[in-house]
Amino acid sequence: MTEIPRDHPRYESLITREKIVEGVRMGFTSQHGLVAQGRGEAFDYLIGEKTIESAAVAERAAVAHILLAERPVISVNGNTAALVPESLVALADFTGAALEVNLFHRSDARVHKIIELLKSHGAVKVLGGKGDKRLDLSHDRAIVDGEGIFSADVVLVPLEDGDRCQKLAEMGKTVIAIDLNPLSRTSLSATVTIVDNVTRALQNMIHFAKEMKLDSRQSLEEVIKAYDNSEVIADALYAIQERLKQQSEERGVRWIW
Ligand code: PTJ
């Protein structure tokens, strides 16, 4: 990896890029993952490269859903494997969720590399290698494990494709999406939409999971009851508008709205 000096003003962003490039080099991230990361970075700039308040609310609600679930599953693709392998394993540990590798650009080699990567970060069991069930979709994200995503009641899908998110929701599952684009099909069809970078979102969710793990069923249900996903999406759009306004003011650029 290229050495990035700590005092570089874009240190976090450059390290993230390095991780994705390294993932491609190691063969667990697809080349398309580089493009997806670029798209994510653009949206991250628009929300100010920080967890906005409504995203933290969504992260808490997501953790409440996972803690209350009977069969929660965290779906892992090539980008999340490259960016946050430790956090995926830690969140699974703290919440009792299963980890399942599920890829759009699927190959057995990539699936097994990601399974091994997660195990090297402490995961005991990682699903996704069997692929013994299919969702009703025409691409390879349809291939899932019968004991994992197929029978899950709650699925966490970071950086997901819109049609699979819709399909999982149609199957009656609670779908938690992490997607920096608040207007993507994924964001609009999820039960809980976390508009945050996956690198921050998982850290925050681990923090909430530690905090909420011993909460009563009733108090977790109250968190879910008080949650309004359309308000969270509206707030993300408002945050983008305000950020653009503030940036144009700071830079002396005319703002028309
Ligand atoms: O590993 P595979 O084969 O399963 O492929 C994974 C990718 C990510 C390549 C595939 O799912 C894909 O093409 O994704 P998209 O549709 O390009 O990206 C999905 C969404 O994730 C987009 O709305 C991006 O803005 C968003 N996104 C990208 N990077 C991040 C992100 N959201 C949160 N955190 C990020 N770091």
Ordered domains of the chain (ranges, CATH): 53-237 (3.40.50.12640)
Residues 6+ away with beta carbon under 8 Å from 120: none
Q: What is the pLDDT of residues 71-102, one digit of tens each?
A: 999 999 999 999 999 999 999 999 999 999 99
pLDDT value, residue 10: 79
Nearest CA to 208 out of 67, 101, 73 is that of 67
If phi over 0 gives left and psi between -120 and 50 gives alpha, with beta otherwise, what is residue 159?
left
Q: What is the pLDDT of residues 155-200, one digit of tens each?
A: 999 998 889 999 999 999 999 999 999 999 999 999 999 999 999 9
pLDDT value, residue 74: 98
Atom 17 of ligand 1, nearest CA residue:
36
The SS3 assignment for 247 reads helix
Ligand 1 atom with the shortest distance to the CA of 102? 4
Residues 6+ away with beta carbon under 8 Å from 98: 71, 72, 73, 74, 92, 125, 127, 147, 148, 152
Looking at the predicted structure, is the pLDDT value of residue 3 above 90? no
CA of 153 to the centre of ligand 1 (A): 23
The verdict on pTM exceeding 0.85 is yes
Site residues for ligand 1, CB cut-off 6 Å: 30, 32-33, 36-37, 39-40, 43, 77-79, 103-105, 159, 161, 178-181, 184, 197-198
Looking at the predicted structure, is the pLDDT value of residue 230 above 80? yes
CA of 129 to the centre of ligand 1 (A): 21
Q: What is the pLDDT of residues 123-143, one digit of tens each?
A: 999 999 999 999 999 889 999
